[in-house]
Amino acid sequence: MVVAGVDVGAATAKAVILRDGGIAGFAVLPTGHDIQKIARKVTRLALAKAELTMADLHYTVGTGYGRRAIPFADEAITEITCHARGANWVIPETRTIIDIGGQDSKAIRLDARGNVLNFVMNDKCAAGTGRFFEVMAKVLQLPLDKFASPELLGQHPWKISSVCTVFAESEVVSLRAEKKSREDIIAGLYQAVASRVGAMARTIDYEDLVVFTGGVAKNKAMARALEEEIGHKIVCPDEPQIMGALGAALFALKKV
């Protein structure tokens, strides 16, 4: 039995293929502007890794911002519900998820079965999202992957605005003009995001185990800053970016 979960987010599209209850393949691609096209492409890529084709799919669940625009999806479920299910499958002890994606961030509290008990979401503002890092990497003229390097993290972080990406950008430009250390600026930026996301997550009374998901979770420096901010140990799954797609695939599996 082959099922798929397809998560079309603001920055990346992800697909997970489950065959006989196990992950047979997954893929991640930049979303671009054509949701239908990228959904098909990322699914085909994930299927190809499992030596399968679209014809092998028995059921597909779409999730993410583009969930309703995936033409071959049998059902759409929100990414909040899917993230909870995916993280619960990978790490059953998960009780809180902090997810930082390309354009939003969210905190989800869940029960032992992966049901959502409470959630909070920042989808109005780039502060505390992957977009914040993209903007800052550009200002500091660093490629995004370099921006995430632990060796570029200063010891004396500058206090930078956590409430607005535009304000923070202005601050970084000023700090650069004052020839402040780039490493300390970057450390300050991590703190700003951690502060913003931590404040949001506190409103749902997070419990251990806290799992960090989304594309930004691949950034170890961010995970560390968040851990310091919330005072809880944070666990990152091996593939934090695909939790939503995985959860969607698990919902698909229940349907067949």
Q: Return the residue of 123, 145, 207, 208 that touches other proteins, per CB under 8 A.
A: 123
Both tokens of residue 232?
């809880």
CB of 103 to other proteins, least distance (A): 11
Cα(216)–Cα(113) distance, integer angstroms? 25
125 makes contact with other proteins (CB under 8 A): no
Q: Please, which residue, 121 or 236, has the CB nearer to other proteins? A: 121
Cβ of residue 115: shortest distance to other proteins, in angstroms? 5
116 binds other proteins (CB under 8 A): yes
- Sequence-distant (6+) residues with CB within 8 A of 229 are 191, 194, 195, 197, 198
Closest distance between other proteins and the C-beta of residue 59, in Å?
18
Asked whether position 142 contacts other proteins by CB under 8 A, the answer is no
Q: Is 170 in the site for other proteins (CB under 8 A)?
A: no
Give 141-154 as a DSSP string. Answer: T--HHHHT-GGG--
Tell the burial category of 219 from Cβ atoms under 10 Å away from its Cβ (0-12, 13-18, 19+). buried
Q: Please state the closest distance from residue 116 (CB atom) to other proteins, in A.
A: 5
Q: What angle (nearest 5°) sits at the alpha carbon of residue 199, between those of residues 107 and 125? A: 75
Return the residue of 43, 81, 105, 241 that touches other proteins, per CB under 8 A. 81
Residues sharing a CB contact under 8 Å with residue 31, sequence separation 6 or more, in sequence order: 8, 9, 10, 11, 12, 13, 38, 66
Q: Determine, following the binding rule CB under 8 A, whether residue 124 of this chain makes contact with other proteins.
A: yes
**Looking at 7, 9, 79, 197, which residue binds other proteins (CB under 8 A)?**
79
CA dist 70 → 22, 35, 43, 154 (Å): 23, 7, 11, 43
What residues numbered 4-63 form the site for other proteins, per CB under 8 A?
none
Size, binding site for other proteins by CB under 8 A: 17
Query: Do residues 69 and 40 lie in contact, with contact meaning Cβ atoms separated by under 8 Å?
Result: no
| Contact flag: residue 117 with other proteins (CB under 8 A) | yes
**Nearer residue to other proteins within complex by CB, 120 or 142:** 120
* Strand locations in 20-128 (E): 22-30, 59-63, 75-76, 96-100, 105-110, 116-122
Cross-strand partners of 59: 3
194 to 233: interface string for other proteins, x by CB under 8 A: ---------x------------------------------
Return residues touching other proteins (CB under 8 A).
Answer: 65, 77-81, 113, 115-121, 123-124, 203
